[in-house]
Chain A
Amino acid sequence: MKITLKVWRQKGPSDKGRLVSYVVDDVSPDMSFLEMLDVLNERLILTGDDPVAFDHDCREGICGMCSMVIDGTPHGPQRATTTCQLHMRHYKDGDTITIEPWRAAPFPVVKDLVVDRSAFDRIIQAGGFISVPAGSAPDAHSMPVAKNDADDAFDAATCIGCGACVAACPNGSAALFTGAKITHLGLLPQGQPERMARAKAMVEQMDAEGFGGCTNTGECVAVCPKGISLDVIGRMNADFLKSSK
């Protein structure tokens, strides 16, 4: 397949950046999206050009590194899929694809498609943990957890912190990410002692990072590779309001 790419190129944080067109001729439908970029990069290296910088790690859909907005959709058109698990068979010969980095002030561009997501780390540092030593995994029956709570906590815990929610949100809000972390710990017994302080600290850190406010548009859920539900935002708001009383 012949694919035309319009890729965001930016030399560094202070560079203005621009979209550059590349034609990739020998794309196989079996390639993943990242493998297609690898082919482009190998060619760029051979011709002495600077390869396109992009984040990637596990390439099996669980690490959340492959941050790129493909034709305006974070992680591309396939629902509940990371970029690395998107395959070129979803495109056809002659297609033009625009690739941009996550666009959010708290995620500054490092180079090309790579953004700095340390803002998420700082939100976790503000309270996304349990300070008491929880020891090794307890026997399953020693600390009963209601089935609904266990399911909801697990669903929230599947968040891989990729930042697609922020990238898709028309407000640039990090409510889905922060909500997922608060819900995950807030539903389990181990998370109870610090529950309210956690919600307050994490929400305040989220705001301090410069993320926008949530207006419940649901754009985040539509692009989340793990299908995190909008319900986590309701739970975050409930805990935050209680903690502010």
Chain B
Amino acid sequence: MAVTGAILVLYLVAHMLGNLKIFLGAGAFNAYAEWLRTVGEPAVPGRTVLTLTEIVLTVAVVLHIWSAVALARRAGKARPVKYAARPKAHASRYATHIMRYGGLTIALFVVWHLLDLTFGVVNPAGGAAAPYDRVVESFDLSRWYVTLFYFVAVIMVGLHLRHGIWSAFQTLGMTTHRTRGRIRVASALLSAVLVLGFLSVPVAVMIGVVK
């Protein structure tokens, strides 16, 4: 859970930084997308680095989900009889809800996200269009519901990470009495930065900064 999560967080940081290139204009953004496909050439064939990244990410996602399912099954076995009374004060159950059900929401979003911006199947500009045009078309005001879904999903990712990042440090035994508080603050900050970075693109498209 922690190791695969760490891989995915590192990817998200890179993904967000890449997204921000859209503010440098269509040329820079499309060139960056092209570079992702050609990086390493001619030492390695085109798309080698990208394909490797895709394989690592797929494996990480599968193992992450597998760990989550295993944990949930163990939890179910450890408490065969549920409580009749709903807890009042102590139990926000925030972490459980945001990690398990939030994780499910994120998985569904990733499917949509790939169909929209990677394969272009559900993108109005289509898969053959330049990456920049796909982004602009996807977040067009007429598709406000798509943008809304994107907003909800990104905020869900942020909440997932707010618990997930420090929890990974704890699982890997990297927290102590004196560092845990700071790690929690840092993980909340990184989550907030990622959310703001990812949301800045659709906002820019909507207010016409990126068109």
Contacts and interface: CB of A to CB of B under 8 A. Distances in A.
B181 to A, nearest CB: 9
A231 B179 CA distance: 9
Contacts of B86: 72
A103 interface: yes
B175 A72 contact: no
Given A72-B85, A105-B77, A212-B78, A238 B173 contact: yes
Interface residues of B, number: 39
Most buried by B among A104, A233, A237, A241: A237
Contacts of A238: 173-174, 176
A238 B176 CA distance: 9
Interface in A196-245: 210-219, 222-223, 229-231, 233-242
B184 to A, nearest CB: 10
A19 B94 CA distance: 28
Contacts, number: 124
Contacts of A242: 173
Given A170-B93, A210-B77, A212-B78, A71 B176 contact: no
B170 A230 contact: yes
Contacts of A6: 84
Given A171-B74, A212-B74, A213-B71, A105 B180 contact: no
Given A72-B86, A237-B170, A231 B75 contact: no
Contact of A103 (B79, B94, B174): B79
A26 to B, nearest CB: 24
10 contacts: A72-B83, A105-B80, A168-B87, A173-B75, A210-B77, A211-B78, A217-B94, A231-B177, A235-B173, A236-B173
Given A72-B83, A72-B87, A223-B90, 16 more contacts: A19-B84, A79-B90, A104-B78, A172-B75, A173-B75, A173-B78, A212-B75, A212-B79, A215-B99, A216-B167, A216-B170, A231-B176, A234-B169, A234-B175, A235-B176, A241-B172
Interface of B: 1, 70-71, 74-75, 77-91, 93-96, 99, 163, 166-167, 169-178, 180
